[in-house]
Amino acid sequence: MTALIKTSRDGAVALIRLNRPKQLNALNSALAAEIVAKVADLDRDTSVGAIVITGSERAFAAGADISEMVKKTAEEMIEADFFAEWDRFTACRTPKIAAVNGYALGGGCELMMMCDFAIAGQGARFGQPEVKIGVIAGMGGTQRMTHLIGRARTMDMHLTGRMMDASEALASGLVARVVPDSDVVSTAMDAAHRIASYSRAAVRQARDAVMRAEELSLTEGLNYERRLFHRLFGTTDQQEGMSAFLEKRPARFG
């Protein structure tokens, strides 16, 4: 049986590659379970500083697997709390970068948005076309997209079901960078290695502060950030980082 994901390590960086190429990496329950379980394992591994998630040249992931859902009833979906397993993915505190080539549609676009940021190829295409099949996004698409690109653009995407190209995705804030298609994974890996080279505590606190900014008022967010800043002065990494800066040498974080 072919593995649904392929995982490799390059030092402190883990690469997860979705591996359902014939289905354009459509996210069925088995693939979702493997992604969530692997990310949870990597999050517990203190030798992992960052995770890159990618698909194939044709598709990052072209949605959820409709064939798996078509016959389900509302009662079955409610009883199973369908898609709730992705909460474990978003609870991962290790930075996650989506490296996107080709289509990132429906659940694929939602998976990308669950990552901390995305690097996309020039040929990438994004969309939430669920309205075309009589449903709506169920993995956070309406919520995360609104936080990322605003209400008007999100309404446009979800109500028309249209696709957004890479240049529009970059301009709107849906992705962080756009690079040539052939450079997507290497660029994401370079970014991941840079993240992994820094203080683990500082990276996690920075990530936490940014995530909380979506939920708190500005005053609450500023107070939260300040408390995290203060706490980092209890770490050896803070002492090493500041000492290295003053001594004009590379920092050696633990």
Give the active site residue among 98, 124, 130, 188: 130
Contacts of 174 (CB under 8 A, 6+ apart): 113, 118, 126, 145, 148, 149, 164
Contacts of 41 (CB under 8 A, 6+ apart): none
Tokens of 234: 């209890």
Residue 191 catalytic?
Answer: no
Give the active site residue among 64, 120, 191, 206: 64
- Distance from C-alpha of 16 to C-alpha of 188, rounded to nearest angstrom: 12
- Distance from C-alpha of 55 to C-alpha of 33, rounded to nearest angstrom: 16
Whose structure tokens read 């990530």? 207
Instruction: Quote the radius of gyration of the chain (alpha carbons, Å).
Output: 19
Asked whether the CA dihedral 30, 36, 37, 39 is positive or negative, the reply is positive
Give the active site residue among 102, 107, 138, 141: 107
Residue 107 catalytic?
Answer: yes
Give the active site residue among 61, 110, 124, 138: 110
HSE-CB for 179 with a 13 A CA cutoff: 15
Residue 75 catalytic?
Answer: no
Residue 130 catalytic?
Answer: yes
Question: 237 and 201 in contact (C-beta within 8 Å)?
Answer: yes
Q: How many CB atoms are located within 10 Å of the residue 50 CB?
A: 25
Question: 103 and 135 in contact (C-beta within 8 Å)?
Answer: no
- Distance from C-alpha of 191 to C-alpha of 21, rounded to nearest angstrom: 26
SS3 of residue 58 by DSSP: coil
Tokens of 83: 């898609």
Catalytic residues: 64, 107, 110, 130
